[in-house]
Structure 1
Amino acid sequence: MAASQAGVFWLEFDPDSGHNLLRKMGNESPQWASPPTFGIRSQVNGYGGGALCAGHDTVYAVEASQQQIHRIDPVTGATNAVTQDTGASFGGLVWDSLHHRTLAVRERSGCQQLVAVRDYNEIVPLHDSEDFYSAPALSASGERMAWVCWSLPDMPWVRSVLWTADVNEDGMLVRARCWPTSQEGSVQQPVFDGETLYVLSDHEGWWQTWCVSWPDEQAKWTCLDSTAADHASAPWQLGERHFCPLGQGGWAWARYVNGVGELWLKRSAGSSPARVAPDFNDFRHMTASDGQLYCIARSATRLDSVLAVDLATKRVRLLAGGEAPFADTPIVAPAPFKMPPSNGGQEEMGGFWYPPVGGSSENNPPPLILIAHGGPTSTAWPVFNPQVQFWCHHGFAVADVNYRGSAGFGRRFRMALAGNWGQSDVEDMERAADHLVATGRADASRLFVQGRSSGGYTALMAMIRSTRFRAGASLFGVSDPARLREVTHRFESGYLDWLLGAPSDYP
């Protein structure tokens, strides 16, 4: 999502062209704002993010095939290349209104840097001493900047650090400093409210909101919400935004409770927080403009939606998406399940169970497919999934499992998979199967396991190591970790060692 005087914009996948295209909110309905042949997607870190930002009267976006920044006229849809940096990829775009330029992360020849981009291929490096960079954030005056860095072999959800700098009259960074947390942690999504800086950090166990200041050159971290819940998901992409300042001390933020996302609003410093849009359970890419909060939202019963929330009345409007997936077919809704720790462990785990269409009985429990999500530092969200619906409509129950290592359940749970991939996750798939059998929701003789990407590795290891499962499916799954370590992209080049230990220990 992006908003400016030029309008409210988002990216939408078009199945006819196979591209992510630019959409703009018109007077009454959304309108296409880019040509159908102009795909938009960043490939920085392999997963991209931040491929779009809105200036005063134009939009800047990363064209998918060449990875260059283009200027898009939001009225005519005309596009013009801003960069011609062959071999480079750009992402994490941010508009700098003070200096009339686009800020971005540039990835080139195995290196990253923060850069400033003006029209006519003028690219100015701003900072380049670290391995990886997040999308930058600017203060209201444009005179302060913040960003997050992390270094190999870490992933950004393992260990990362906050940086700040002043921006001089020439647009260059001065007095750049890093501000470590008091304990090891992952910092993400810096944002300014006026000149005051806020971030999400999990150094005390959860991704919570912190105000960061540095009087007398000493960092002061003040927690604004100590609720024991993650307020963001794992930062796989640049430019994520799970919280947003609203002015006058007001905030919007997401909170994840037992795998379910909640959207909360606090209109001003003196008002009470209120939950809004309870029909949705995942919220991303928040931005505020002209008394409205905009975001991408997902639910279990409809397709992805673009929402506008009136900050004064808290009324929620559906701007785009949100269609019913099927015309005449009922949607199978998820039911959360949760299990206490086993074998003296400390970690609870659970997921979401989907019953088969047609039901089952105590004497005739259904066959069950247990799904291991990808990542593995990702999450099984209770959102519409056509594959899950397919199996439920063919007589199977489905369990989407948040095994140890999943994001959204605190730092300790997320870090529990370190060195134990293919073991702890397999044990948790077994525990989920046993629990659902014991509670009458699955037939012990008809248990199946499925996974995609890293979840495919979990499925393969479950079929090798476990006797619970009658069959399984690995969909584009990891089958040779040592080979993957040799060919994976730089972003994940240290990830397998974190998951599995030294290469000599790879199974």
Structure 2
Amino acid sequence: MTVATSKQPAPCGAWTSSITAAVVAAGATPLSQLAVDGGSVYWLEGRASEAGRSTLMGGQGTARAELTPLPFNVRSRVHEYGGGAYAVAGGQVFFSHHGDNRLYRVGADGQPVAVTAEGERRYADFVIDAPRQRLVGIREDHSSGAQYPDNTVCAIGFDGSETVLVDGNDFYAAPRLSPDGAHLAWLCWDHPRMPWEGTELWLADVAADGSLVNGRLIAGGAQESICQPEWSPDGVLHFVSDRSGWWNLYRYEHGVVHPLCPREAEFGGPQWTFGGSLYGFSSPDEIVCTYIEAGVSRLARLALRGGELAPIATPYQEIRELRVEGSLVALLGGAPTIALELACIDLSTNQCTVLARSIERLPEGVYLSVPQAVSYPSAGGRTSHAFHYPPCNAHYAPLAGELPPLIVIGHGGPTGMAASTLKLAIQFWTSRGFAVLDVNYGGSTGFGRAYRDLLKGQWGVVDVEDCVAGARHLAEQGLVDPQRLLIRGSSAGGLTVLSALAFHDVFKAGACYYGVSDLKGLDADSHKFESHYNQYLIAPPERADTVYRERSPIHHTDKLRHPMIFFQGLDDKVVPPQQSESMVEALRARRLPVAYLTLEGEGHGFRKAESVICTLEAELYFYLSVFGVPIPAGLQPVAIENLGDA
């Protein structure tokens, strides 16, 4: 028997919810970097209670064990973003320790033993070459004292010896040995390209002494992005390329490249980190793969010779990683009501077992907003994409005739993608009566090369236009209040916020977390991997100064006309406090409502639970105050200057 309950009318934004700021601050356990070996599944698990270190876990079925005890932190710093921080094969486990950047081997007694010497070298994306008693991976050498480190493909002996196998390019990734150990494939690229712009796939023979001979370029170039080269069990090289305009699967055999399954779908993703995997071999004749269509991940079996793609049913709409060994498939999956989790699928029975969850106790379903994928017209005749989250709370409804306020969010990167996996930070808002639009603006991945390249030379323009168009679209559909449109973002997303408020008159308020207001400052602080990224995003060097000034909100503060709240870590070295302070002073001078919260001991990105709680609650208080919504009891007040003058 079901008892009907009526919802209480209350102003949107003032609804109470069990998804508190403290619940958001408690966050999720990070899960990443899967591997399978001998029927065992391995993964990295974040430990917030242990200074945020990543530890290596392994298990079969529902059993699990920790392989790297305190103080070991399994993390690589190659390219700064890392990834590919461990390797396992035949029960042997090697990993990179963030504390000293050395490689370690897990000994027979379970205790890690150092392999490489102390120094200024970092390692990532390594594979185990057991017959030669060595690892083959990427080495980043900082010992020269030069502005940028030297990157190579390197052999690291189990005895600690190191031999450079390939050098001369700015960047390398994905060295992969053939099953018989006779061949090595790898990726490389050079400035000013990023790996999603253009990479090269090389192949060489491995000589008797372990050196490489007969190296040859077999695919790729300045306008073709290749990722994830892998060998089939019978020794045929496969890879993902966007040569068709979409990251699709290919086979290299007898000197010829063959497409496996031409499709307007993405079987690969941007190589921000090492070691990503979106396909694997269940047999010499079959691949298990995940691909993205219309922003949603799907899982399938692909027959290698016939090209037939047979779907595998899962509850997931986002699949971040995928590893395959025979009938065992391990993946990280999430959906609108499923926080990211590690699942294992037995292909012989289709049984799915969850091995680890990022959030063990989810909020009640009555508070969870399920997003709808929307596409809408934007500037220049293009179509943009987003996920629309309507307000959701089983106990409250808007006042009669009231439309909800809308918060627009642009993802970071900016070469990245918003997915629909459950995020507590979004549900915090929707369960209080706000609608949210999570935008995959032009430049996002998951929609093909042409869509990704929309941001070329247009960062700060296309992303902003698509956020503006998305807000207008929902307002025109009668889904949100056109007089209560909000935009929030952090770091690069903060640039989108500031640009939207400076160059457009659509949003009525904004929240900027340690946001970029001066583009020129990014070049001065960039590391090697991203040091030329702005040439793609904004302008080549000869035009940079002019375009930077045109697009940097810090030079257009006279155009600001709506309330803003700023959050800034005082120890931020990436976007220093001066960038926020200049914007705050400009709003003060124009007598616009402004609030500014600084946080001691926080850098670029807030990590302390008390910081997350403080900033979320302050942002909520700010929005309610600006729109004249009653403030719920217990919400701490925030000093908002000039609010009475608005």
Matched, 1:44 2:78: yes
Equivalent runs, 1:262-411 vs 2, <5 Å: 262-266=298-302, 273-321=309-357, 323=359, 325-328=361-364, 330-340=367-377, 342-343=379-380, 345=381, 347-358=382-393, 360=398, 363-411=401-449
Identity %: 31
Question: Displacement, 1:277?
Answer: 4.4
Q: Is the 8 A contact 2:265 2:292 kept in 1?
A: yes
| Partner-residue secondary structure (3-state), 1:175 | strand
Query: 1:341/1:506 Cα in 2 relative to 1: closer, same or farther (>3 Å)?
Result: closer
Question: Displacement, 1:252?
Answer: 0.9
**Larger proportion of helix:** 2
Equivalent runs, 1:193-232 vs 2, <5 Å: 193=232, 194-215=234-255, 220-232=256-268
Q: Which 10-residue stretch deviates more, 472-481 or 447-456? A: 472-481
Letter in 1 for 2:128: W
Paired position in structure 2 for 1:93: 126
- Of residues 458, 462, 475, the one that matches 1:424 is 462
Question: Displacement, 1:386?
Answer: 1.5
Query: 1:231/1:290 Cα in 2 relative to 1: closer, same or farther (>3 Å)?
Result: closer
Q: Is the 8 A contact 1:137 1:192 kept in 2?
A: yes
Q: Is the 8 A contact 1:50 1:135 kept in 2?
A: no
Query: 1:116/1:341 Cα in 2 relative to 1: closer, same or farther (>3 Å)?
Result: same
Paired position in structure 2 for 1:113: 152
- Of residues 144, 150, 156, the one that matches 2:189 is 150
Letter in 2 for 1:424: V
Q: C-alpha separation between the residues in 2 aligned to 1:77 and 1:26?
A: 17
Q: Is the 8 A contact 1:280 1:297 kept in 2?
A: yes
Equivalent runs, 1:438-453 vs 2, <5 Å: 438-453=476-491
Give the gaps of 5 or more residues in structure 1: none
Q: C-alpha separation between the residues in 2 aligned to 1:138 and 1:300?
A: 38
Letter in 1 for 2:71: T
Question: Displacement, 1:299?
Answer: 2.3
Q: C-alpha separation between the residues in 1 aligned to 2:86 and 2:391?
A: 41
Letter in 2 for 1:468: V
**Normalization by structure 2: what TM-score?**
0.74
Query: 1:275/1:452 Cα in 2 relative to 1: closer, same or farther (>3 Å)?
Result: farther
Q: C-alpha separation between the residues in 1 aligned to 2:319 and 2:297?
A: 7
Q: Is the 8 A contact 1:98 1:141 kept in 2?
A: no
Paired position in structure 1 for 2:199: 160
| Partner-residue secondary structure (3-state), 1:365 | coil
Query: 1:324/1:12 Cα in 2 relative to 1: closer, same or farther (>3 Å)?
Result: closer
Letter in 2 for 1:387: A
Q: Is the 8 A contact 1:267 1:312 kept in 2?
A: no
Question: Displacement, 1:187?
Answer: 0.6
Q: Is the 8 A contact 1:35 1:77 kept in 2?
A: no
Question: Displacement, 1:362?
Answer: 9.1
- Of residues 25, 33, 37, the one that matches 2:67 is 33
Query: 1:6/1:224 Cα in 2 relative to 1: closer, same or farther (>3 Å)?
Result: closer
Q: C-alpha separation between the residues in 2 aligned to 1:184 and 1:298?
A: 32
Matched, 1:236 2:272: yes
Letter in 2 for 1:203: R
Q: C-alpha separation between the residues in 2 aligned to 1:76 and 1:385?
A: 39
Deviation per residue, 1:39-89 (Å, 9 max, x gap): 11111111111001103232111101211111124x753111111151111
Q: C-alpha separation between the residues in 1 aligned to 2:418 and 2:139?
A: 31
Letter in 1 for 2:440: N
Q: C-alpha separation between the residues in 1 aligned to 2:201 and 2:223?
A: 12
Larger Rg: 2
**Normalization by structure 1: what TM-score?**
0.94
Q: Is the 8 A contact 1:2 1:52 kept in 2?
A: no
Query: 1:280/1:99 Cα in 2 relative to 1: closer, same or farther (>3 Å)?
Result: same
- Of residues 103, 123, 140, the one that matches 2:162 is 123
Q: Which 10-residue stretch deviates more, 179-188 or 240-249? A: 179-188
Question: Displacement, 1:503?
Answer: 2.1
| Partner-residue secondary structure (3-state), 1:506 | helix
Question: Displacement, 1:286?
Answer: 2.2
Paired position in structure 1 for 2:101: 67
Root-mean-square deviation (CA, aligned residues, Å) is: 2.1
| Partner-residue secondary structure (3-state), 2:354 | strand
Query: 1:377/1:65 Cα in 2 relative to 1: closer, same or farther (>3 Å)?
Result: same
Letter in 1 for 2:245: G
| Partner-residue secondary structure (3-state), 1:280 | coil
Letter in 2 for 1:117: I
Question: Displacement, 1:425?
Answer: 1.0
Q: C-alpha separation between the residues in 1 aligned to 2:291 and 2:332?
A: 15
Paired position in structure 2 for 1:251: 287
Q: Is the 8 A contact 2:288 2:324 kept in 1?
A: no
Question: Displacement, 1:102?
Answer: 1.4
